[in-house]
Chains A and B, each alone.
Chain A
Amino acid sequence: MVLNLVLPLAGLLAAALLWAAGAGWLAGVTPVASAFAPVPTGEALLQLVQGRDLWEHIWLSLQRVAVGLVIALVLGVPLGVLTGLSAWFSKATTPLFQFARMISPLSWMPIAVMVLGVGDAPVYFLLAFAAVWPILLNTAAGVAQLDPNWLLLARSLSATRRETILRVILPGITAHILTGVRLAIGIIWIVLVPAEMLGVSAGLGYFILDARDRLAYSDLMAAILVIGVLGYLLDHAARSLHRRWLHT
């Protein structure tokens, strides 16, 4: 129990020491790099969390995550159910999905901007495009792995079609959908930062580029820390959602 707390803290402390040593060495090569060190970064972070700007960037980024995730769910769950139910549809689409899944969503960026214009729309597109695959594939796997005895149980109760779908199939695949959501959030969070580096004027990705342009390197490091912490919290939230559903 104590080890569960002490070991992760020791790991983080070791990383911070390596960070300080690395920044110190780098400062010897280029003096400007001293701004990357833990202490100035901490000071910058303290400044930022007391102001309004950082919170607005965070809020916007989280909104984009939510929109991207909802679009991915709206497309991915029905397509996943179809893939899981219909061998015919699955055969027809599997190579296409596996092909599309392996293309970095960012490579669509120029086309997305040309088609959807500058602003939020191409970012939503990129996030949804990145997130739809894990949701789709996990939903399909969930349908394929439904316990046949659950369906037999429903039939033995003379369940109507509606009762079977609402009381057995949808709750039965929810755990898989939540697994997909967790993977999707991880991918969205990674794609978000580069996606916000083009064509938008707010958000954490924008904030990184802006800090670079302002030569505010401590702010830049602080933003990296914030991105890491938020990503960790998002993943933790998705995990606990999954656990709560399965009560493990």
Chain B
Amino acid sequence: MNAPAVAPSALAPAPASEAVLAARDLSFAHPGIGTVFEGVSLRIRRREIVALLGSSGCGKSTLLRVLAGLAQPARGEVRFLDAPLAEPHPRSALVFQQPSLLPWLTLADNVGFGLDFAHQPRSDGAARRARVAAAIEAVGLAGREAAYPAQLSGGMAQRAALARALAREPELLFADEPFSALDAITRAEMQALLVDVVHRWHSAVLLVTHDIDEALLVADRILLMGGSPGRVLREWTVDMPHPRDEHPEALTALRLAILGALRHSS
């Protein structure tokens, strides 16, 4: 009954040069809470959109922080572009559930925020402005450069947050439940926009989500996380062209498979 376009991944290891990010045998413990996850190995290839799917509290956000270099694992190693990762990499970017724009800066200044920081790759003002303008254009906010966050709707603010990430021209975009605070219509728009812009920017994405449909609509590969301590339990490759909502039967089959696996995991 499985649709032909959908097949469980054979876990074929890509050549090292193809991976943006490779993590091996990661574990992480919170003092007082205990082991959050252990034995997590995964790799994200260039331009690949990977969804990390799991219920609330399964440790997926913590795993994202470790993979982004914002927290150090108790054991294991994260490699970014084939080099060990000790702190956030300049070619990675973050999008959170909340836009977290800085309210005292204009939209353009928010999108360009931090590009001139000491540890960022050196670039002159004109190049930075061009990157900011391209990112704002890509998320459909051209003409609103001078607006302040308080003057933007929730959807526009999240677009701005996405533009801020794009302006770093990231090899890998970390997105932690980026659309779960939005209404359903805006969320669908943003999911389509995300797929569109990361393809144009040639970025890979690690999308943390608890929404099966979001994972199905956006991701090339879905990792199911669960258990206590958390582990990556299953993996599916979604080999379907975008926009996916034009293939509802194939999505439904995979959706049922994931739901079944989720039931067994808890």
A binds B: yes
Interface residues of chain A, those whose CB is within 8 Å of chain B, are 147, 149-150, 152-160, 163, 167-168, 171-172, 174-175, 245-248
Which residue of chain A has the shortest Cβ distance to B149 in the bound complex? A247
- Chain B residues within an 8 Å CB radius of A152: 70, 94, 96
27 pairs, CB–CB < 8 Å, chain A vs chain B:
A147-B98, A149-B98, A150-B102, A152-B94, A152-B96, A153-B94, A153-B100, A154-B114, A155-B70, A156-B70, A156-B92, A156-B93, A157-B88, A157-B114, A157-B117, A158-B120, A159-B114, A159-B117, A159-B119, A160-B118, A163-B114, A168-B102, A171-B102, A171-B104, A172-B102, A247-B149, A247-B151
Query: Nearest Cβ in chain B — how far from A243, in angstroms?
Result: 10
- Indicate with 1 or 0, residue by residue over B139-180, a CB within 8 angstroms of chain A CB atoms: 000000000111100000000000000000000000000000
* Residues of chain A with a CB closer than 8 A to B68's CB: 156
Interface band, chain B? 20 to 34
Question: Is B8 in the interface zone, CB < 8 Å from A?
Answer: no
Contact of B96 among A149, A158, A163 (CB under 8 A): A149
Closest to B100 in A: A149
Residues of A within 8 A of B118 (CB): 160, 163
- Contact assessment for B100 and A150 in the assembled complex, using a CB-CB cutoff below 8 Å: yes
A158 touches B151 (CB 8 A): no
B57 at the interface (CB under 8 A from A): no
- Asked if A153 contacts B70 (CB within 8 A), the reply is no
Q: Name which of A147, A175, A246, A247 has the most chain B CB atoms within 10 A of its CB.
A: A247
What distance in Å separates the Cβ of A171 from its nearest Cβ neighbour in chain B? 5
Contacts of B70 in A (CB 8 A): 152, 155-156
Kindly list chain A residues whose C-beta atoms are within 8 Å of the C-beta of B87: 158
Beyond the given pairs A155-B70, A158-B87, A246-B104, 6 more chain A to chain B contacts, judged by CB atoms under 8 angstroms and listed by A's residue number, are A150-B100, A155-B88, A156-B70, A159-B114, A159-B119, A247-B103
Residues in chain B within 8 A of chain A (CB atoms): 68, 70, 87-88, 90, 92-94, 96, 98, 100, 102-104, 113-114, 117-120, 148-151
Q: Out of A160, A172, A247, A248, which one reaches B117, CB within 8 Å?
A: A160
**Least distance between B156 CB and chain A CB atoms (Å):** 14
Q: How far is the CA of A31 from the CA of B127 in the complex (A)?
A: 79
Q: Are A156 and B94 in contact (CB under 8 A)?
A: yes
* A158 near B90: Cβ-Cβ < 8 Å: yes
Task: Give the most central of A153, A160, A168: most B CB within 10 Å.
Answer: A153
Q: Give the complex CA separation of A167 and B150 in angstroms.
A: 19
> B88 touching A247 by the CB < 8 A rule?
no
Which A-chain residue is minimally distant from B115 (CB atoms)? A157
Contact yes or no, A158 B119, CB < 8 A = yes
The minimal Cβ–Cβ distance linking A52 to chain B, given in whole angstroms, is 42
> Are A246 and B103 interface neighbours, CB within 8 A?
yes
Which single residue of chain A is at the shortest CB-CB distance from B96?
A: A149
CB distance from A175 to the nearest CB of B (A): 7
B64 to chain A, nearest CB (A): 11
Distance between A145 CB and nearest chain B CB, rounded to angstroms: 12
Chain B residues contacting A155 (CB-CB under 8 Å) are 70, 88
**A154–B88 CA distance with the chains assembled, in angstroms:** 10
How far does the alpha carbon of A156 sit from the alpha carbon of B118 in the complex, in Å?
13
**A160 cross-chain contacts in B, Cβ below 8 A:** 117-119
Residue of B nearest to A168 (CB): B102
Smallest beta-carbon distance A236→chain B, Å? 20
Instruction: Using known A-B contacts A156-B94, A157-B119, determine if residue A248 contacts B104 with beta carbons closer than 8 Å.
Output: no
Judging by beta carbons under 8 Å apart, are A158 and B117 in contact?
Answer: yes
